[in-house]
Chains A and B, each alone.
Chain A
Amino acid sequence: MRVNVTVNGEQRQADDVWEGESLLFLLRERLGLPGSKNACEQGECGSCTVYLDDVPVCACLVAAGQAEDREVRTVEGLARGDRLDPVQEAFVEAGAVQCGFCTPGLVVAAHDLLDRVPKPSDPEIREALAGNLCRCTGYEKILEAVRLAASRKEAGA
């Protein structure tokens, strides 16, 4: 089947999409957007987190056909041109990256959190990131990055 979807502000189209395939497969394998990572394929790890109509979801659990006429924003769509999003900058500066596999999902989840809650408490950060696994167990630096991004956004606001 054909799927029409807006991805990172751009109207995209994919043909020969299998009816049972996921939005994640569509993004990575058909639309050339490998930022969202494919790991557990069951919503446990959060590595494939993307915005679907502004709501963070696991792209592996959305059927590609369900994205028809909807808006998807992936980690590739967070930066403005060459300028990284403050959350991405904070992850780089805090060293919140080890192997990097979970990073795109965590960046999207943290981005959503700071949109909703500009000054999150630690429990709020933990709860917001509870759906994202880092198998390097680098959570301390990730928490630091979110705190840093929050303070930057506050200072910039």
Chain B
Amino acid sequence: MDFLRPDTLAEALAHKAGRPDAVPIAGGTDVMVELNFDHRRPAALLDLTRIAELRTWDEDDGAVRIGAAVPYARIIEELGGRLPGLAMASRTVGSPQIRNRGTVGGNLGAASPAGDTHPVLLAAGASVEAASTRGTRLIPATDFYLGVKRHALEPDELITAVHVPVTRAPQQFSKVGTRNAMVIAVCSFAVALHPAEHRVGAAVGSAAPTPRRASAAEEFLSAELTSTNQWESPEPLLDSVKRRFGDLVAEAASPIDDVRGSAAYRKHALSVLARRTLGWAWQDYAGKVA
């Protein structure tokens, strides 16, 4: 096995172009587990932790560009005000030790259906920045997840950043697990209000082969809120609206039975999470508008 240790992004991209089989490693919270258990023996590891430009974030044109190697702990500490949903999901990742190391870039690279940040990235309208020696492109999160642990990167590409729109509107994330720390989600859900566009984003995790948006639920709620003029003068949401939203979210999922939970439980739990998080987000919104 080779251990590639680039100091710059240009070097890293050259390595990846020459060795598409090299596995990128940043926080190691997924890759090292696979190595420790001998589930994977890549030809090369490509260490991204020495590349300064991957460890920074900046805000530009209404979005925060978060370098792929920025750990969750820093997102929580530094970006909670700008990216409430992502910070919320980041707080639920692993344990303090894991949040000190794990990164959104790694969450995307692993593309596990249970990854904690995916539903928020989908609901918030984030994009994944991928780079290679051929150039850089932005992949909308909606187009990024292709299957269980499969994503839209080409073999010579590296995830360099994720772009997340800054918002002052409420976002919520919730996940179900057996305890508070170090839990792989049984299912998870994120909702993001986009008042300027009169639109709601909603997405489920750990409940289908990929994280996915709950499009019918988004459309139903967006239309409901717009037709009743609620973006301008929010009223408490009708129970029937919250329930319908929850039902449509559950319908968006196609979960399986596994050790963490049954498909039926996941659907039920998602409808509850959707109803509850919408309630919190809407209450928050009404308070802000008033």
Q: How many A-B residue pairs have CB under 8 A?
A: 91
List 7 interface pairs A-B (beta carbons < 8 Å), by A numbering: A22-B36, A42-B36, A57-B97, A61-B28, A61-B29, A63-B35, A63-B45
Using a CB–CB cutoff of 8 Å, the interface residues on chain A facing chain B are 1, 18-22, 41-44, 46, 49, 55-58, 60-63, 65-66, 68, 109, 127-128, 130-132
Q: How far is the CB of A105 from chain B (nearest CB, A)?
A: 9
Q: Mark B76-100, 1 if CB is under 8 A from A, else 0.
A: 0000000000000000001111101
- For the complex, would chain B's binding face be called helix, strand, loop or mixed by DSSP majority? mixed
Q: How far is the CA of A24 from the CA of B117 in the complex (A)?
A: 28
Residue of A nearest to B27 (CB): A61
Q: Is B241 an interface residue (CB 8 A)?
A: no
Q: How far is the CB of B77 from chain A (nearest CB, A)?
A: 11
Smallest CB-CB A-B distances: 3 pairs: A131-B95, A130-B181, A19-B3
Residue of A nearest to B32 (CB): A61
CB of B98 within 8 A of CB of A43, answer yes
Interface residues of B in 60-80 (CB under 8 A from A): 73
Q: Hey, which chain A residues are within 8 Å of B100, CB to CB?
A: 55-57
Q: Hey, which chain A residues are within 8 Å of B47, CB to CB?
A: 63, 65-66
Q: How far is the CA of A16 from the CA of B226 in the complex (A)?
A: 65
Q: Hey, which chain A residues are within 8 Å of B32, CB to CB?
A: 22, 43, 60-63
Q: Hey, which chain B residues are within 8 Å of A42, CB to CB?
A: 33, 36-37
Q: Hey, which chain B residues are within 8 Å of A62, CB to CB?
A: 28, 32, 101
- With A41-B33, A61-B28, A63-B25 known as contacts, the answer to whether A127 contacts B1 (CB < 8 A) is no
CB of B36 within 8 A of CB of A56, answer no
